[in-house]
Each structure stands twice: as structure tokens, then as C-alpha cells.
Amino acid sequence: MKRALIVGLLLSLLCTVSACVHEQRAGPYLVDSHDIVVRADNQQHRIDEGIRSGQLTRHEANMLQDNLNYIRSEFSRISVNNRLTQHEHERLNRLLDQNSEMIYREKHNEIRRLYQD
């Protein structure tokens, strides 16, 4: 009798913990991540265009591409059905903001322009 009671309590506890974990991951806190995908695609286009136009050197483009690949891998790792928690969404947006600023700085690098002219 005691054994059945203990097993029942353990199963109940396990179900409760499992439900809490599932609720945290699949609850109302998840946000759509379509904008992350669109921003990453936009940055890919900016990098490709910078290479074609000569605004980016191969080294600069590789660095920016590595950053973007990291962001995409993080997105793939943490997203569930293309949905993220608010915290994850904000983190990826910060990474995309930083990479966007780097793309702008590298494409408008005045020192490199001095040596190209």
C-alpha cells in the first residue's frame, strides 16, 4: 500500500513538473519569429550587395557572414516551430541590431575608401 502511494505521488509530481515546463515553453509567452527571419534575410542581401558593389572586402564580408550564420544557428537551436520566448526574441533582435550596425560601418569605411581611390 505504501509503495503504491509513493509511486502515485511521484507520478503526480512528475506530471506537474512536466506540465509546468511545457507551459513555460509553449505558453502565451511565445512570440512569432517571422521578423527575425526577415531581418536575417535582409542582412544577407545587404552583405551580398556589398560584395557585388565592392563596398565590402572579402574579409569584411566573411566576418559579417560568420556573425549572421551564428545568429541563424542560434535561432534554429532555440526556436520551436518558429516561435520564441520574449527573452529569446529580444536577444536575437539585439544580435541582429549589432550585426546591422557592423554591416553599415564596414560598407561605409572611410579609411578603406582612401586606399581604394
30: number of Cβ within 10 Å: 19
List, for residues 82-113, the tens digit of each pLDDT value.
789 999 999 999 999 999 999 999 999 877 65
Whether residues 37 and 6 fall in one domain: no
Whether residues 45 and 100 share a domain: the answer is yes
Same domain, 69 and 40: yes
- Which residues form the domain of 44? 33-116
Element containing residue 104 per DSSP (H, E): helix 86-107
Residue with cell 506537474: 16
Number of structural domains in the chain: 2
Top pLDDT among 1 and 33 is at 33
The answer to whether residues 25 and 63 belong to one domain is: no
Are 25 and 41 members of one domain? Answer: no
pLDDT digits (tens, 9 = 90+) for 28-86: 568 888 999 999 999 999 999 999 999 999 999 999 999 999 999 999 999 888 789 99
Alpha-carbon distance of 43 to 49, in angstroms, equals 10
Q: What letter would DSSP give residue 56?
A: S
Min mean pLDDT across 4-13, 21-30, 89-98 is at 21-30
